[in-house]
Amino acid sequence: MATGSFRALVVRKSDNPDDKTQRVSLETVDDTILGEGDVTVRVTHSTVNFKDGLAITGRSPIIRRWPMIPGIDFAGVVEQSDSSAFPVGSEVVLNGWGVGEGHPGGYAQRARVKSDWLVPLPAGLTAAQAMAIGTAGYTAMLCRMALERHGATPDQGPVLVTGASGGVGSVAVALMAAAGWEVIASTGRPEEAAYLQGLGATTVMNREELSAPGKPLGKERWAAAIDSVGSHTLANVLASTKYRGAVAACGLAQGMDLPGSVAPFILRNIALLGVDSVMCPVADRREAWTRLAKELDLRKLGDMTSTIGLDDVEGAARDILAGRVRGRLVVNIG
């Protein structure tokens, strides 16, 4: 078993049960803080997702075990293993499975996890590129796969991507454009129009067109959509989806509610496709990562990516919730 001290970002609660605040600090810890598992990974890179922002700031009750090392995904190299599937030296990626929530996560130089949770680093990607994709980009590919399995094709009309300047949205714009779709990008940051067009968006629309309460049915505007926003935005996306179209929903940046109507479903026969990245079956995970390595333009991935250190994660968590993060943030664990 790998031993020794290492750096980690740790979230702790007060010993006083009446004190609901949490404290975030960079600490030197040892293996006693790690969870159970048959594989220990030397973590080289992680990333900052919206859920990480919620966990670190305490804005939502994401963390279920204390103390906790947050970080819902990571990439690294196996340094100890009791699994024949992942021998020492294997390069691996992890997304979800409750890591960073109920099991110590990726904002540390070491992680111990179940081998069933790991995916081999796809050929053609570095660990840094894998985390530039991260859970956000992997979720975007799961959304594209859901639309394809439903039968959505570019000849049916344009695809709308909401939250387009964020992590899921940026990768979704690039992926859908690469697949031949006309992409409408919805964003609350109109100054990012050139950035989104560089990723492949044909049209950039202001999110205000979708974020307020709307009508049960609107003008048919898109054949498919990828939504990471939820609430009124998702309701309005559904209301303007074309007959027999489909919407892949994967996020709740605006809210968990869905204040809409059954009208789009019973009058236009559209489909709402739920996309979960946390407990997604291994076969779908491997397909998603294999396709990302082959189908995502790595030049565009580089254009949407910035790199920070472990010391910068707490500030980045606040920024991502405030909508100040464009594209993807890679954390170089160091």
CATH code of the domain made up of 6-121+304-332: 3.90.180.10
CA 328 – CA 82 distance, rounded (Å) = 33
All structural domains of the chain with their residue ranges: 6-121+304-332, 135-274
pLDDT digits (tens, 9 = 90+) for 94-149: 999 999 999 999 999 999 999 999 999 999 999 999 999 999 999 999 999 999 99
CATH annotation of 135-274: 3.40.50.720
CA–CA dist 255, 31 (Å, integer) = 37
pLDDT at 2 over 60: no
% of the chain exceeding 90 in pLDDT: 96
Cβ contact 321:53 at 8 Å: yes
Mean pLDDT of 243-267: 97
β partners of residue 332: 45, 309
3-class SS shares of the chain: helix, strand, coil, % to 5: 35, 30, 40
Average pLDDT, the chain: 96
Confidence of residue 172 (pLDDT cuts 50, 70, 90): very high
User: Which residues, listed in sequence order, are joined to residue 236 by a DSSP beta bridge?
Assistant: none
With bands split at pLDDT 50, 70 and 90, how would you rate the model's confidence at 17? confident
164 pLDDT above the threshold of 50: yes
User: Can you list the positions of beta strands (E) in 82-174?
Assistant: 91-95, 110-113, 118-120, 159-161
Cα distances from 35 to residues 79, 107, 208, 282, in angstroms, run 16, 14, 43, 21
Give the distance from CA 95 to its chain's centroid.
9
Helices (H), 165-297: 167-178, 193-199, 208-211, 231-239, 263-267, 282-295
In whole angstroms, give the CA distance from residue 245 to residue 224: 6
Closest among 68, 108, 72 to 93, alpha carbons compared = 72
**What mean pLDDT comes out for the span 250-271?**
97
- Asked if the model's pLDDT at residue 315 lies above 90, the reply is yes
